[in-house]
Amino acid sequence: MKELEKVKVFLFDLDGTVYLGGNLIGDVKNTLNKIRAKGVKVGFLTNNSSTTKESYFAKLKNLGVFFDGDFFYSSLDCATDYLLDKNREGKIFTLATEKVKEHVKSRGLNVVDDENSANVFLLTFDKELTYEKLVKANRLLGKKDVLYIATHPDSVCPTENGSIPDVGSFIELLSHSSGRRPDVITGKPYGVLAEYIIKKLGVKSDEICMVGDRLYTDIAFGENSGMKTVLVLSGETKEEDLKSSTVSPTLVLPDVNYIQV
């Protein structure tokens, strides 16, 4: 495909792009192998911060789509990198699963359970959310000079059994209760994520192609940061959604298996 000739790295979204729930979309394994065989790097980029890099490696390897030399990055990785760079000493109260909380600690960040001693609020896709945690988060956001970081803006996450509330919905809830919105969002479509990825990959932005199923995160992310973009219609977006969209993908394909390099 002429539009993809200069691409050195393909970044694939996961949910709705590589798989739906536990099922791969068509012969993705073969498609990725063909890309690797051409010397083009394969990468995975997810906004889903409900689990850690290690869990994703295990899942992707188990599905047969992740190999040594592939790239992986998530909105959670970006949030922890950002905090290590800009607020290493911060005392972080987080809405996160226990696994993610331990992961953030293992990166050398100071996670506290008492919101009264915190000066950073990190909002991730906490699938173990309780009312008590929401009360603590709300109390913290009522304090002055608290840095508020959210991992991503997605309102819902697709699953085999329909959509479930995601961080974008938590942001709205906390906005109503506290009046605060995030200072920084580290997932697609925001620029801070592109900065880290471009630095890590060591290529120019127009040598990267973002492949995803969502216009307002995946495609907007690629477009905002000067990457090529491929919208796949295997997930959330339907062809008619393009008519009212302000973002315009480089290519629109039925699914990832139509990519040719």
User: What is the contact mask toward Mg ion in residues 203 to 242, using x (rule: CB under 5 A)?
Assistant: ----------x-----------------------------
Closer by beta carbon to Mg ion, 13 or else 126: 13
The number of beta carbons lying within 10 Å of the beta carbon of residue 223 is 19
Q: Which two tokens stand for residue 228?
A: 């090529």
Is there binding between residue 153 and Mg ion (CB under 5 A)?
no
**Cα–Cα distance between 41 and 61 in angstroms, integer?**
16
Comparing CB distances to Mg ion, the nearer of 194 and 211 is 211
Q: Does 13 bind Mg ion (CB under 5 A)?
A: yes
Cβ nearer to Mg ion, comparing 182 with 212: 212
Element (H, E) at 31: helix 28-37
Task: Mark the segment that binds Mg ion (CB under 5 A) among 15-23, 94-102, 105-113, 144-152.
Answer: 15-23
Residue 15 touches Mg ion, criterion: CB under 5 A: yes
Report the 10 Å Cβ neighbour count for 231.
Answer: 27
- The verdict on 16 binding Mg ion (CB under 5 A) reads yes
The Cα–Cα gap between 154 and 259 comes to 26
Residue among 5, 16, 7 at smallest CA distance from 232: 16
Asked if 168 is part of the footprint of Mg ion (rule: CB under 5 A), the reply reads no
166 sits near Mg ion (criterion: CB under 5 A): no
CA dist 28 and 19 (Å) reads 9
Residues that bind Mg ion (CB under 5 A): 13, 15-16, 213
